[in-house]
Amino acid sequence: MEPQDISRRNFLRQATWSGAALTLAAYMPANGSTLPEIVNPVMDEYLPGTALMSWISIDPAGKVTLMCNRSEMGQGTFQALPQMLAEELEVSMDDVQIAFAPANPEKYGPQPQEGSFSVRGWAPRLLRAGACAREMLIAVASAEWGVPQRECYAENGAVWHKPTMKKLPYGALVEKAAGLQPPAEVTLKKRADYKIIGKPAPRKDIPLKTNGSAIFGLDKKLPGMKYAVIERSKRFRETVKRFDDSAARKIPGVSHVLKVKRPVFSQYCEGVAVVADSLWAAIQGRKVLKVEWDAPDFEPAGTASLEKQMRENLGKIESQAGFEHEYQRCKQQLEASYETPYQSHSCMEPLNCIADVRSDRIEIWGPVQEANWIQADLSQRFNIPIERVTVHMTFLGGGFGRKGFPDYPYEAALISKEIQAPVQVVWTREDDMTAGPFRPGAFYTLKGGLDTQARIHAFQAKTATQWIGQDWSPAPPGPPDAASYNKGNFEGLLPPYRQGIPHFSFGGAGTHSPIPVMWWRSVSASTNGFACESFIDELAHLAGADPLAFRRAHLPNARYQALIDRMAELTGWNSRAQNSGWGAAFTECFTGICGHAVKVARHADGKVRIEKVVALMDCGWYVNPDIIRAQVEGSIVMALGAATIHATTFEDGKAVQQNFDTYPMPRIADIPPIEVHIMENDEKPGGVGEPGLPPFAPALANAIFDLTGQRIRRLPFSLDDIR
- Are 511 and 309 in contact, with CB atoms under 8 Å apart? yes
- Enumerate residues 6+ apart whose C-beta is below 8 A from 417: 357, 382
Tell me: pLDDT of 16 over 90: no
C-alpha span between 466 and 486 (Å, rounded): 14
Mean pLDDT is lowest, of 26-40, 208-222, 632-646, for 26-40
Tell me: pLDDT of 20 over 90: no
Closest to 554 measured CA to CA, from 527, 533, 570, 583: 533
Which parts of 338-406 fold into alpha helices (H)?
371-382
Output the pLDDT for position 482.
42
Cα four-point dihedral sign 599, 602, 604, 607 = positive
Mean pLDDT is lowest, of 20-29, 241-250, 323-332, for 20-29
Tell me: pLDDT of 19 over 70: no
Angle subtended at Cα 526 by Cα 698 and Cα 314, rounded to the nearest 5 degrees: 85
Output the pLDDT for position 409.
98
DSSP 8-state assignment for residue 270 = E
Angle subtended at Cα 383 by Cα 381 and Cα 389, rounded to the nearest 5 degrees: 85
Higher pLDDT, 580 or 121: 580
DSSP string, 619-650: -SS-S-HHHHHHHHHHHHHHHHHHHHT--B-E
- Are 477 and 355 in contact, with CB atoms under 8 Å apart? no
Q: Where are the domains of the chain?
A: 8-210, 222-297+362-426, 303-342+438-721
Tell me: pLDDT of 481 over 70: no
Residues of the chain with pLDDT > 90, as a percent, come to: 72
Q: Helix, strand, or coil here: 265?
A: coil
DSSP 8-state assignment for residue 368 = -
Output the pLDDT for position 521.
95
Mean pLDDT for 185-199 is: 94
Mean pLDDT for 280-301 is: 95
- Are 485 and 510 in contact, with CB atoms under 8 Å apart? yes
Higher pLDDT, 109 or 577: 577
Predicted model pTM: 0.91
Split at pLDDT 50, 70, 90, the class of 494 is confident
Beta bridge partners of 319: none
Closest to 244 measured CA to CA, from 283, 285, 284, 291: 291
Output the pLDDT for position 297.
85
Mean pLDDT for 471-484 is: 53
- Are 144 and 160 in contact, with CB atoms under 8 Å apart? no
Split at pLDDT 50, 70, 90, the class of 488 is low
Tell me: pLDDT of 359 over 80: yes
Give phi and psi for 592, each to the nearest 5. -115, 140
Tell me: pLDDT of 245 over 60: yes
Output the pLDDT for position 575.
95
Closest to 69 measured CA to CA, from 31, 25, 32: 25
Beta strands per DSSP E along 427-524 = 442-450, 456-465, 503-510
Split at pLDDT 50, 70, 90, the class of 128 is confident
Output the pLDDT for position 22.
61
- Are 640 and 666 in contact, with CB atoms under 8 Å apart? yes
Among 8-12, 52-56, 72-76, 193-197, name the most confident range: 193-197
Count of positions (residues) in the chain: 723
Mean pLDDT for 325-353 is: 97
C-alpha span between 195 and 436 (Å, rounded): 45
Output the pLDDT for position 180.
84
Q: Helix, strand, or coil here: 2?
A: coil
Tell me: pLDDT of 1 over 50: no
- Are 497 and 366 in contact, with CB atoms under 8 Å apart? no
C-alpha span between 1 and 9 (Å, rounded): 12
Output the pLDDT for position 200.
92
Closest to 441 measured CA to CA, from 507, 515, 533, 347: 515
Max CA separation in the chain (angstroms): 84
Higher pLDDT, 400 or 28: 400
Higher pLDDT, 421 or 473: 421
pLDDT, mean over the chain: 88
Split at pLDDT 50, 70, 90, the class of 286 is very high
- Enumerate residues 6+ apart whose C-beta is below 8 A from 96: 64, 65, 66, 82, 85, 86, 204
CATH number of 303-342+438-721: 3.30.365.10
Split at pLDDT 50, 70, 90, the class of 36 is very low
Split at pLDDT 50, 70, 90, the class of 475 is low
Mean pLDDT is lowest, of 201-205, 383-387, 533-537, 678-682, for 201-205
Mean pLDDT for 281-289 is: 98
Split at pLDDT 50, 70, 90, the class of 77 is confident
Output the pLDDT for position 7.
35
Output the pLDDT for position 21.
53
Among 26-30, 325-329, 478-482, name the most confident range: 325-329
DSSP string, 583-613: EEEEEEETTEEEEEEEEEEE-TTS-EEEEEE
Beta bridge partners of 585: 596
C-alpha span between 447 and 707 (Å, rounded): 24
Closest to 688 measured CA to CA, from 567, 593, 587, 586: 593
C-alpha span between 562 and 582 (Å, rounded): 20
In the chain, count H helices and then E strands: 19, 27
Closest to 493 measured CA to CA, from 469, 463, 521: 463
| H helix or E strand, kind and range, residue 700 | helix 696-708
Higher pLDDT, 473 or 717: 717
Mean pLDDT for 511-527 is: 93
Cα four-point dihedral sign 193, 195, 198, 199 = positive
Helix axes 525-543, 625-644, angle to 10 degrees: 80
C-alpha span between 110 and 370 (Å, rounded): 9
Higher pLDDT, 483 or 588: 588
Beta bridge partners of 598: 583, 613
Mean pLDDT is lowest, of 2-6, 288-292, 558-562, for 2-6
Tell me: pLDDT of 668 over 90: yes
Classify domain 222-297+362-426 at the CATH superfamily level.
Answer: Aldehyde oxidase/xanthine dehydrogenase, a/b hammerhead (3.90.1170.50)
Output the pLDDT for position 321.
84
Mean pLDDT for 515-533 is: 95
| CATH class belonging to 8-210 | alpha beta
Beta bridge partners of 338: 444
Displacement of CA 283 from its chain's centroid (Å) = 31
C-alpha span between 432 and 430 (Å, rounded): 5
Higher pLDDT, 325 or 81: 325
DSSP 8-state assignment for residue 302 = -
C-alpha span between 460 and 320 (Å, rounded): 9
Output the pLDDT for position 105.
75
Higher pLDDT, 209 or 64: 209
Tell me: pLDDT of 606 over 50: yes
Domains 8-210 and 222-297+362-426 share a fold: no
C-alpha span between 462 and 675 (Å, rounded): 34
